[in-house]
Structure 1
Amino acid sequence: MTERKKRLRTGAVLAILAVLALLALWCDINAGYRSISLEELGQILSGTASRSLTYTLVDLRLPRVLTSLLVGVGLSLSGCLLQGVSRNDMADPGVLGINAGAGLLVAAFIVFVPAGLFPSAVALPVLAFAGSAAVAFLGWRLSVVRGASSPRRLLLIGVALATGLSSATSLLMLRMSDGDYAFVQNWIAGSIWGASWENVAILAVGLALLTAGALYASRTLNVLGLGEAAATGLGVNVPRARAA
């Protein structure tokens, strides 16, 4: 296949996926007790719609829909990176214990920090990111043998960390009230109920930065997929690249 045909095929696939994404967004926007027609959407865009209709779409549904879309982008991006580093198609944030690290710190925050001391809208994302990063670093560090990270060892250690951290989270949740227990359970399950434009902004900025970094590292990931010997022969510092 020539280079031009590859580009045309890639462009066609991206165009089809973009159309499907727009259709999925439209279906998600109308997934509620009240559907929104194209005519009403035009009224909202022109500012002539009723206040209740505008509130339903702009303040309730759009933040939820865009949050779920961005979360999906983040999960696919992280899975792609982890699979490239570990050279294993089963690697993802759940298998490697990264999600469990986020859940543990969120549960610890609710159990040990008095309510109202810190704003949860800011504290929970920061703690979740810190827990994820700590577990990712710990898993990578434990997988290093003789100065090199072992992909198979990384996967096995990740499974062990996920099991242990999930058990610790369950123990903490036993100390919670019914309301806090339900909140953490929904948070871990991935509920997007109550998503706001603040969530959309945080996700958009974070994903923009991380996507740029992933695209910059894409060639290195492709070389790592050839194996350590081939990557080293092509001039890649394999331990440093995996750590990054």
Structure 2
Amino acid sequence: MVLENLEEVNQRILSACKRAGRDPGEVTLVAVSKTKPASMIEEAYSAGIRDFGENKVQELCEKYEELSKDIRWHMIGHLQRNKVKQVIDKAVLIHSVDSLRLAEQIEEEAAKKALTVDILLEVNVAEEESKFGFRLDDTECAIRKIALFPHVRIKGLMTIAPFVENSEENRFVFKKLRQFYVDMQSKNIDNVNMNMLSMGMTGDYEVAIEEGATLVRVGTGIFGTRYKIGENEV
């Protein structure tokens, strides 16, 4: 199942790139493996996938120890400040930096380990109450403050668009963030290398690619629905 699903996702990525006149090499597929067993991850790995995304620190750390060391783990879920020290030396990229306080914690823990941590700022473009992230109006100010941290590197932006039945409804979200991203690139802020735009999930990654995403986070489209025990997700 995983291999067939991956083939379809890759074809859709290629088609979206073709429609947008983009080089498919500009788009990285992050296979969201939250709640999935190692055997399914190994199946995707055997098909050439090396970028995997996890929502929870504990799960990322366990899989980091268990699976191949050339896997690039992405922290894509909400990150609590008290768990930063567990993940900063394991994740190649933290997509979900959603507050100045979290960035300060990453700086503090990275300094202790003499690391430089690559991050994306999570932007709540649609300003949904249920989502984390900076408001678009506050993001430039946050970028300029975090850019001063010597052990943190801002690599770009991330957003989680609203859940919609028709992916076209999210086009304005992706377009708006891309416009802001391009604007930030043009300002050449020191210690900010604005070259990653993480947007689009299983339901809307094709639209996100058409609007400039460089990273798409696809879980159910590759692995199917999440495993559950009773009513509780695991």
TM-score, shorter chain, exceeding 0.5 = no
Q: Which has the larger radius of gyration?
A: 1
Q: TM-score interval w.r.t. the shorter chain?
A: under 0.3
Q: Which has the higher strand share?
A: 2
Question: Which structure's relative contact order is higher, taking Cα pairs within 8 Å and 6+ residues apart?
Answer: 1
Using the size of structure 1 for normalisation, the TM-score is 0.25
Using the size of structure 2 for normalisation, the TM-score is 0.26
Q: Which has the higher helix share?
A: 1
